[in-house]
Structure 1
Amino acid sequence: MTVIKRFIAGAVCPRCGEMDCIRTYRDDEREYKECIRCDYEDSMRLDGQPEMEELETRVNRENKPQIEEGAQPLLFTPNPGTSRKDH
């Protein structure tokens, strides 16, 4: 199978910022984009499935942090003698 690479008119490379240097091509599973000036490469699956599982963060973690009973949040208030312009 012959790979046909086509330029994307008006596309700007996210790495080098040059216009009209991104070309795209695909195979049976993936679509690829590459810059001819800085060797930037990117690809994505054609079936729309994510590349990898989502990384665990404090936002999507199943076990939420335990808060001690009776604990109170800290509230930070600005010093009444200063204004924001002084900082």
Structure 2
Amino acid sequence: MATQKRFIAGAICPRCAEMDRIRSWEQNGIRYRECVSCDFFEQLPIEEQAAPELATRIDRTHREEPTEDFQTVKIIDPKG
């Protein structure tokens, strides 16, 4: 069975800067990309497991529990 090569819509070739000329396919655990306008060719290994995402302060999987420690604020009248 032949591997189907597909064009990547909107992709710009890093070598010749032509748009919609990159096609991609996978074969034997390797992802291939090539440009049909120039001699650009790239091989990328396909990762079996995605790397775990790093925790950031914006997207935390664990939330800190709110503390019950409150302090009373006393408003002082400057006139006395």
TM superposition score category, shorter chain reference: 0.5 to 0.7
* 1:13 matched residue in structure 2: 13
Q: Which has the higher contact order (CA 8 A, sep 6+)?
A: 2
Which ranges in structure 1 are unaligned for 5 or more consecutive residues?
49-87
**1:38-65 deviations in Å (ceiling 9; x for gaps):** 02001110126xxxxxxxxxxxxxxxxx
TM-score calculated relative to the size of structure 1: 0.52
* 1:40 matched residue in structure 2: 40
Question: Which has the greater radius of gyration?
Answer: 2
**1:12-69 deviations in Å (ceiling 9; x for gaps):** 0000000000000011210000000002001110126xxxxxxxxxxxxxxxxxxxxx
TM-score calculated relative to the size of structure 2: 0.56
The 1-side partners of 2:43 and 2:28 are apart by 13
* 1:24 matched residue in structure 2: 24
The 2-side partners of 1:20 and 1:47 are apart by 25
The runs of at least 4 aligned residues of structure 1 exceeding 2 Å deviation read none
Across the aligned residues of Structure 1 and Structure 2, the Cα RMSD in angstroms comes to: 1.7
Which ranges in structure 2 are unaligned for 5 or more consecutive residues?
49-80
SS in structure 2 opposite 1:16?
coil
Name the aligned partner's letter for residue 20 of structure 2: D
Aligned length: 49
